[in-house]
Structure 1
Amino acid sequence: MAKVLYGATMSLDGFIAGPDGDMSWLKDHLGPDPVADDLVAHVGSVLVGGRSYRGDDPNVGTEKEGPFGGAWHGEQIVLTRTPAPDLPGVTFVSTLNTALHQARAAAGDQYVCIIGADVGRQCLDAGEVDEVLVFVAPVLLGDGVPLYRHLGGATTRLECTNVHTTPHATSLWYRVHR
């Protein structure tokens, strides 16, 4: 049975994208990372938000374009209010339950990896996230899209299960307590 993982690279001040969803800041913080490299082999599907799917890939136009810097290939389920015709390997859906069902089915016994702050928040709020993996990059962005924002507040308890440091980032792996 698939586990649902919310994974992202974040600045030390908590932003996964700069202002207006700008992802170009990541170029200076991507590099070899054994945690990320190992994770790619265990991701069975990606559940991505519409803005992230249509967003600013720092590797656009290169062989590294796409999830995990182009190292991963598989079924992408895009949760969006404006579905488009499906593409090879990409399915557009408009409800969270449908997106999770299809992503889990596509993942088999591997991870469903969430990409995008809003879909990550929705899945956390729905109690559907099993683990959170954050790569903290050594940079302060000062503004942008936060990893998790819940207006009115919400508390999600996490248990740290692994910490790994490279020159590019420190990875923090958590299990979600329900």
Structure 2
Amino acid sequence: MAKLLYSVTMSLDGFIAGPGGDMSWLTPYLGPNPLIDELVARVGAILVGGRTFRGDDPHKGTAAEGEVFGGGWEGPQFVLTRTPPAEPVPGLTFVSDLGEAVAAARAAAGAGYVNVLGAETARGCLEAGELDEVLVCIAPVLLGDGVRLFDHPGGTHVRLERIELGAAPSATNVWFRVAGRDG
């Protein structure tokens, strides 16, 4: 069965997007990363939140704009949103229920990963007990404000076990398995 993986690039101070969802900060850190190159080949489906789907793109103004992994991946994509577009979008399936979205993405991914994109969607998957792993590429930058990697009002305690630690020219990669939640 496919595993759900939340993969993301984060600033050293814990932000995955700048204020207002700005992703332009990420562009200088999209350089070569062998771990990501290996991961792309193992991704069977994408599960993306509606806000991330409609949000800013670090590839804006390039041929890779709007493409998952900058155009390095193709396959089934599921968008979790309460407001799907009126007209179908080729290559995308819009789903309004988290459980249905996860089940459809897992089925489409086969033995590969379901790569989760979007902080709220990842949090929902975690809270539903569906998130298996987290891969964070830590960029050497401080943003000071924006969208956090993981935000849970009132706090929570999620135990993670490190699977892999490595470095690329533009980031430090830390891959974890979700070990459980306390409380």
Which TM-score tier does this pair reach, normalised by the shorter chain? over 0.9
Q: How many Å separate the matches in 2 of 1:27 and 1:57? A: 9
Amino acid at match of 2:15: F
Q: How does 1:12-161 map to 2 (within 5 A)?
A: 12-65=12-65, 66-84=67-85, 85-161=87-163
1:64 is displaced (CA, Å) by: 2.0
Where do 5+ consecutive residues of structure 2 fail to align?
none
1:74 is displaced (CA, Å) by: 0.9
When normalised by structure 2's length, the TM-score is: 0.94
Q: How many Å separate the matches in 2 of 1:164 and 1:64? A: 26
Structure 2 match to 1:175: 177
Q: How many Å separate the matches in 2 of 1:6 and 1:166? A: 19
Q: How many Å separate the matches in 2 of 1:173 and 1:111? A: 14
Amino acid at match of 2:77: Q
Q: What whole-Å deviation, never above 9, does each CA across 1:93-147 have from its counterpart, x for those lacking one?
A: 1110011011111111100000001001111111101110000000000000000
Q: How many Å separate the matches in 2 of 1:105 and 1:5? A: 15
Aligned-residue Cα RMSD (Å) equals 0.9
When normalised by structure 1's length, the TM-score is: 0.97
1:167 is displaced (CA, Å) by: 2.3
1:60 is displaced (CA, Å) by: 2.6
SS of structure 2 residue aligned to 1:86: coil
Q: How many Å separate the matches in 2 of 1:67 and 1:15? A: 20
Q: How many residues were matched structurally?
A: 178
Give percent identity, aligned residues only: 61
